[in-house]
Structure 1
Amino acid sequence: MSFETPGLINEARRQIEICNACRYCEGFCAVFPAMTRNTDFAAGDLSHLANLCHNCRGCSYSCQYTEPHEFALNVPAILAEVRQDSWERHIRPAALARAFHSRGVAIMGLMVLVIAVFFYAARSGGEGSFYAVFSHNTLVALFLPAFVLPLLSVALGLRSYWRETGGRRITPGDLKGAFASVAVMKNLAGGHGEGCNFEKENRYSQRRRFSHQAIMYGFLLCFAATGIATLMHYLLDMPAPYGLLSPPKLLGIPGGILMVLGGVDMILSKLKADPTLGAQRVWGGEMAFVALLVAVAASGLALYAATGSTLMPGLLALHLGTVLTLFLLLPFSKMVHGFFRLAALIVEQQKKRG
């Protein structure tokens, strides 16, 4: 499917109104109970439903109105398109998001290569400590703005999305409900807890849920490892590298392994899934993003294994290239979906309480 935004919204409204009249899939996931609150669907209502959707596809495999029926419903695909459109409209500049999702592999590969070559050419030392290769101050000067500025772009986009979907003042209960759902990937378990139909069509599977959990918790462990390492550097005067039993390694190594395992499994699942039930125009960008996550984690693990060897400077340059690329592409890659989905879950908690 490929629509300009007005046509996309009109087609989404047509399909959702048919679903709302049928209600056969009411217990499948969070989208369908949320749908029943409305009789008319504004663009903001559709954006909200789309960001609640996890593209599990169970509704499509159960639907009596998919093609060749004249209604030709494809709810997972149309919501995937609306979801993608919401990110592109609210994150600025939108042209960068569209470019990444249409040429994701090429853009990602080129950025990693250029940045890694830059770091390797700019190295100031040889083997041993990371900071013998690149000074700590240099890395902070490069990575701090590359992390903060994309987050600012995401924050501005979320503010716009929040207004469009009717978000209100957040309460502790809103946060509790939303984070509880995220923690267990509740919506990827389906309405009955049996999983979703992403890669096995009409058979339920928990595989996609587990791969998402592995990536999310792996990323959080790696982020925590970096945070603790920063505190150790500044507060305890303990610069890297750190030993196997140090807090950064006890968190970072399992985190990296989880990210690699979850990312590879997600790639395999996406290769098995029916592409017509998603946003086909952004398939390459989605795969590039998952591959980038795997590259970040795998290069980090390889870097630790090579510490003190002649391979370390090259692997450090590669790892820094993947991490900096991830940061710079944050607002424009599918990484942004986590922020929008959390916002949708918070809004949903608010709508439930009236």
Structure 2
Amino acid sequence: MKKIGFLSFGHWTPAPGSGTRSAADALLQSIDLAVAAEELGADGAYVRVHHFARQLASPFPLLAAMAAKTRRIELGTAVIDMRYENPLSMAEDAGAADLISGGRLQLGLSRGSPEQVIDGWRHFGHAPAEGETDADMGRRHALAFLEVLGGQGIARPNPRPMFPNPPGLLRLEPHSEGLRERIWWGSGSNATAAWAARQGMNLQSSTLKDDESGEPFHIQQAAQIRAYRAAWREAGHARAPRISVSRSIFPLLDDRDRAYFGSGGKERDQVGFLDEKTRAIFGRGYAAEPEELAAQLRADEAIAEADTLLLTIPNQLGVAYCAHVIEGVLKHVAPALGWR
């Protein structure tokens, strides 16, 4: 395990007991937690993107603000639903945020998952082309985004421009060199993992995937990672890819931890249907005393296959508690997984 970061969904609700009661709370606390995680020695601060929900939605202003407050930690998404995105305007936003960060962005994309509203991407002005599904549209948007990140010129210059132009076709600006190699794909199946490898994207695999064999989640996820690596080798890419998995991990260190997570109930995988056709398996959570927790995680085959572990954090419990969880994993559990 080379890198460990946190992943926040940025939930907020004006309910009793919530430490994150507004959108402003969710955004500002995300910045504060990135700062705290960097001080603790964590490697990454990642956010989930959801639309039409009381969660984080527009990642680039947030990532830029996190970048301005930190110096070392990776900043990323897991994931951006590409059905909602204009690839060219997204490339401009991503280039600006990456330059502000000094090249620390790690952007996870996906073709999308079930959302809060029906066909929410239509409200953003997007619609599948004839013969496309919405998932096809998301992948098409992703490929267009990758193409413009390459920095090639795409637009004919005006013969009488307001400002002088460099020769040839003009590219989008600002362009951030190297960002193209720091794009990830959030994959829910073996086939889409192989597709991501062929496109030269890193792999993000979460706690949910298609149930393709009936085996335990971590075994299926490990097989997915191996399929991805095989496709990467076959594609002949020059660089080595990166692979992340997400887990809910809670060392039980004090009475607060035991009160929140010590009662159990999430130690088994769960199986359900995302829609009428898609049977999915949801990975288990982990909560135990540090020594037992380390043993459980060493037995997780997908964690062993990945180079990056993202800790899903209960952001509504507040920055101080989430930092406590991150510190507990880094100090009491991570060394047993080979971190640092």
**Structure with the larger strand share:** 2
Q: Which TM-score applies when normalising by structure 1?
A: 0.25
Q: Which TM-score applies when normalising by structure 2?
A: 0.26
Q: Report which of the two structures shows the higher radius of gyration computed on alpha carbons.
A: 1
**Structure with the larger helix share:** 1
**Larger RCO (CA under 8 A, 6+ residues apart):** 1
